[in-house]
Structure 1
Amino acid sequence: MTGFVVRRIGFYTFVAVVLAFFALPLLWLVTAPFTDTPTYEVKVPDFTPANFQAIVEHPYALGSLVNSIILAVGTAALVVLFASLAAYALSRVRLPGRDALLYALLLLSSIITGTAAMVPLFQLAVTVGLIDSQLGLILILTGGLLPAAIFMLKDFMDSTPKSYEESARVFGASPLQIVGHIVVPLVRPGLATIAVWALANVWGNFLMPYLLLSDVEKQPAAVIMYTLYTEGGQPNLRLLSTFGLLYSIPVVLMYLFVSKKYGFRFHGGIKR
């Protein structure tokens, strides 16, 4: 009995230490923006608005957050649209080598990452005139995310009953009407999953915006955050901590919205 109690105490102590290890950076992120002279230590904040005032006065900080939202939402919308249409077609149409094509797309998208393909992508963007264009960056990011999105969404499409579609087809519904009114309500959790996944990938993407957007007014927050360091690599903790907190808020709100809306329960919209 004594040994059991000792093991339980040791286990809970270990868990507490691990939780504290991961909680300290988050605690610093919450308290440092409200501290007049933040350091690397976690301390009681002064609850001063001076750091937020400095971010507001920064010429590019708030605008970069808007740019990040534009890039993330635009890319997620295109990924969801194209991936849903492609996944539905691949799920319903029997094509020779369909499964091999899907696995090849997934494999190539995993091997040829943005870092490995940045030179040809940069040359392509120069050739078609998409340098320093947010629309061009959205298209390139969409192309990079589509293979994996199609692969993931196809499983949701395969699980939808075909009888609903056949009934709609009997009443004269077109393929697009079937997708919009029958398939989409059934796979809404899957679409939400793809949208959140695309948003998270674009929100934290640094390399492609850094390469393709030379105009600082068009650059997202992930790139502007890099400018909050001095030439010697020393961070401006006042600006960096405050900007980091603002940078994290949209992701947290997105998580809370999706968790409340779907609860991460991957089932369709029609009871079977």
Structure 2
Amino acid sequence: MNFIIRTCFLYTILFMTSLPITAVMVPVYKMFLTVGLYDKIGGLILFLTATSMPYGIWLMKNFMDNVPVELEEAAWVDGASAFDSLRKIIAPLMFPGICVVFIFTFSGSWGNFFVPYILLQTLDKFPASVTLYQFFGQHGMVIYGQLAAYSAVYAVPSIVLYVLSQNYMSKGFNMAGAAKG
């Protein structure tokens, strides 16, 4: 869709993707203490969602730009509403892009060590990426057997997600012939 501040909005999104998390963690930490979100799983989820949205929006924009407008216009000519054309025409074509964005954002959040380590204090609330750090004991003592087992279990969700979405990601990237000019 075209709107007046589109370019400014997209450049703002692009700028937000370039900010490193470490640059904003001190103010975020202070804000979480002030607002009362420190050591709360909901606050961590909110922060990880907010920081992954600019990247997801920018990536989805690139996928959306490849969907021919003619397909949506043809659905309108056939009597479909804007919501119907979005649900029946655009969304199925966008599903590979949605899978890609989901995998990248999940991987970024699942493997993130720094943010949960700073924003959570209770050991029971630590996610798997921070719990993995607990296997490195004091004075350089490492429990290698448990570390290897936990690492294998830690990798399972990412592997399962990749295997399940691989079928969808390989389809739909080439929309050649979808609209003839």
After TM superposition, the score normalised by the length of structure 2 is 0.85
CA contact (8 A) 1:221 1:247 kept: yes
Tell me the distance in 2 between the aligned counterparts of 1:186 and 1:95. 27
Q: Report the residue type matching 2:158 in the other structure.
A: V
| Residues 1:241 and 2:153 aligned together | no
Paired-residue identity, % = 32
1:169 Cα offset (Å): 4.2
Match of 2:65 among 154, 158, 169: 158
1:103 Cα offset (Å): 3.0
After TM superposition, the score normalised by the length of structure 1 is 0.59
Q: Report the residue type matching 1:94 in the other structure.
A: F
Tell me the distance in 2 between the aligned counterparts of 1:245 and 1:264. 29
Deviations 1:148-190 (A, max 9, x none): 21111112112212233334445362x4444333321111111
1:244 Cα offset (Å): 0.8
Q: 1:201 to 1:253 in 2, by over 3 A?
A: same
| Residues 1:105 and 2:13 aligned together | yes
CA contact (8 A) 1:258 1:264 kept: no
Tell me the distance in 2 between the aligned counterparts of 1:223 and 1:179. 40
Q: 1:172 to 1:258 in 2, by over 3 A?
A: closer
1:106 Cα offset (Å): 1.7
Provide the aligned length of Structure 1 versus Structure 2: 177
Match of 2:4 among 95, 99, 113: 95
Higher relative contact order (CA 8 A, sep 6+): 1
Tell me the distance in 2 between the aligned counterparts of 1:217 and 1:240. 18
Tell me the distance in 2 between the aligned counterparts of 1:178 and 1:130. 40
SS of 1:187 mapped into structure 2: helix
Q: Which residue of 2 aligns with 1:262?
A: 169
Deviations 1:75-96 (A, max 9, x none): xxxxxxxxxxxxxxxxx12324
Tell me the distance in 2 between the aligned counterparts of 1:132 and 1:182. 43
Q: CA RMSD in A?
A: 2.2
Tell me the distance in 1 between the aligned counterparts of 2:154 and 2:162. 14
Deviations 1:49-84 (A, max 9, x none): xxxxxxxxxxxxxxxxxxxxxxxxxxxxxxxxxxxx
Tell me the distance in 2 between the aligned counterparts of 1:238 and 1:108. 41
Q: 1:176 to 1:207 in 2, by over 3 A?
A: farther
CA contact (8 A) 1:200 1:251 kept: yes
Q: Which residue of 1 aligns with 2:100?
A: 193
Q: Report the residue type matching 1:119 in the other structure.
A: V
Q: Report the residue type matching 1:105 in the other structure.
A: I
